[in-house]
Amino acid sequence: MKTILLLSALSAAAALAQPFGICFGPFTGNQDPATGVVLPEAQLRGRLTPLRGKFSWVRSYGSTHGLQHVGRLARGMGFKTAIGAWIGPEDTPEGIAANQAEIAALIAAANAGHVDIAIVGNEVLLRGDLSEERLLEIIAEVRAAIPWWVPVTTAETHDNLLAHSAVMAACDVICAHFHPYWQGIRIDEAVSWLDDEYQALRLAAGGKWCVIGEAGWPSEGDPEQLAEPGLENAAYFWSAFQSWAVRRNIPNFYFSAFDEAFKEALEPNRVGKNWGIHTAKGVLKPGFKNVFDDKLLPEAAVLRAAVEPPALPPPPSVALTAIPAHGVKAQKTLCGVVSDLGKTAAYRRLACYIEVDGLYWTKPFFNKPLFPVLPDGAFTTKIVTGGVDQKATEIALFLVPSDYKAPLAAGVPFIPGSIEQDALASAFVSRPEGSPAGGDGEPGFTASASVVRKLIAGSASESASLKGIVVLPADFEAAGVVVGISLCGLEWSFNPLGKSGSAVASDASAAKAVGSLSLKRDAKYGFWRWSAALKRSASASLDAYGMINATISTGSPVFLPLALDLDGQAFETVCRLHYTAAQNGTGTAK
């Protein structure tokens, strides 16, 4: 219900043809929060007034020294509020006391009904002020003390959030900062870069609402690599960013409302005091009015190409290729493959639980609750490590980040913790009493037949190497499996009666000019690894049609999308991949 209420509020605001929210910094003149200055309500109200009618939300950064009134005043003026508690280091008694005061004030404001989103800390991990564990403790403390319908989060740079999956898991919504200027991105590439990074964060967020907590461009200062400050560039980024965000209904807080002098000493390049859409005196800067007049930039002026936002990559899935027979103690090993991991396999682990007589147990071991996934997605683990594990009637697998703390199960009637909600992918296999050994596609098992893909193309100009994985039923010989691959306009077939062999092309003479295709049975993991060595001249074209057709006993085909990873850049298609090499050995993928 908390998520539904929040999404309703966010969607209603984002649907308006106006900017969503603004980062509210109310300090004027020589005021500096480091000196403990207390801001009067009249000043806060005066700074909020020029924002009224322009933005739906305001975001604050602190809850003491007068800032505790921002939520009440803003709500009274019709704004939705994202209220922050400033969290700093706790290496001194004064630091501990300051954090406690901020937390208490944020809790009080939320309980008074003045907070729509509670933000615990701003870039705490980026500055190294607190450990991840301590930040998680404070998030939990605030959540436990305020109304259940108020979402709790922390604000961090997008890359720091991706590096701290436990923090993302602890937040009700994701609040991420994207600053192309600090990444040294050229102004005409800034929104395209932000779009790419935002899509990556959405994928990692596992369905949680992703709010851009900060994005902006300085109107004065020194360059950061290719990123040039300046009023013209700042006005362009403001228009381009808002055009991108409004069209996509992306909730955001633009950074920031006003120039603030005290920030000059906090950032390099003389840009700290120049992030506002208004001057320090509250005057809207030239070039910023067009957005408020609903004058959005055309798509072609915002992104690299005028295209709709790309669909998110498919989520990973878990397929089991070898399942031990029920009741046979000697059969201990469970094997499988995780699909659609891309280059993230090194950052993923699997957790396994088995159900015996209605109770769940962690496998393989209590002191080793997670086990790795190989770069090509393969995995193996033991599910019979003691007691009567061989009598397990259900096996549950969960794909999680490598730093995930999997809850332990020692004879409990349910899978513990929130791993079912936190998992990136999962698989549940029912194994009735008397079930024989099997794998995906085996009758009587709930897991479904699947094909797992990975395709890599070499960058040499003389040839290309493709390779991948095919997952087929455990009783493949009895099923009469035939594997077919369409490459370079030729149909290749392979009947895997043995452990390895070469595929036969539909046109043998034409195949000599193309290359060869072979498959090898991996007995340990229960699937085939296939590879193709394809010839091509420096100016030739290679068409690798995106499917592996595995006809199993039911007669139904399974199709395999192909992907290309060339010089570290990934290209994917669901129908076909086309690679054209130029004379100099470089190429493009479509």
Task: Report, as an integer, the average pLDDT of 52-64.
Answer: 96
Rounded CA separation 532/464 (Å): 8
Rounded CA separation 467/437 (Å): 28
In the chain, the largest separation of any two C-alpha atoms, in whole Å, equals: 86
Which of the four pLDDT bands, split at 50, 70 and 90, describes residue 531? low
How far does CA 401 lie from the centroid of its chain? 11
Q: How many secondary structure helices (H) and strands (E) does the chain include?
A: 14, 30
CATH architecture of 317-430: Sandwich (2.60)
Name the nearest CA neighbour of 339 among 417, 235, 440, 462.
440
- Given a contact cutoff of 8 angstroms between Cβ atoms, the answer to whether 589 and 571 are in contact is yes
For 548-585, what is each residue's pLDDT tens digit?
333 222 223 333 333 333 333 333 322 222 222 222 22
Average pLDDT, the chain: 77
Entry pTM: 0.54
User: CB 166: neighbour CB atoms within 10 A?
Assistant: 15
70/322: higher pLDDT: 70
Task: Report, as an integer, the average pLDDT of 452-480.
Answer: 41
Rounded CA separation 101/417 (Å): 32
238/469: higher pLDDT: 238
Which of the four pLDDT bands, split at 50, 70 and 90, describes residue 525? low
- Given a contact cutoff of 8 angstroms between Cβ atoms, the answer to whether 218 and 231 are in contact is no
Rounded CA separation 136/171 (Å): 9
- Given a contact cutoff of 8 angstroms between Cβ atoms, the answer to whether 448 and 465 are in contact is no
Which fold does the domain 2-28+39-301 belong to in CATH?
TIM Barrel (3.20.20)
Residues 6+ apart with CB under 8 A from 92: none
- Given a contact cutoff of 8 angstroms between Cβ atoms, the answer to whether 10 and 211 are in contact is yes
Q: Is the pLDDT of residue 200 over 60?
A: yes
280/386: higher pLDDT: 280
Q: Is the pLDDT of residue 474 over 60?
A: no
| Exposure of 165 in the CB half-sphere (CA atoms within 13 A) | 15
Listed by start position, the domains of the chain span 2-28+39-301, 317-430, 463-589
- Given a contact cutoff of 8 angstroms between Cβ atoms, the answer to whether 432 and 393 are in contact is yes
pLDDT for 76: 95
- Give me 74's structure tokens: 């803003």
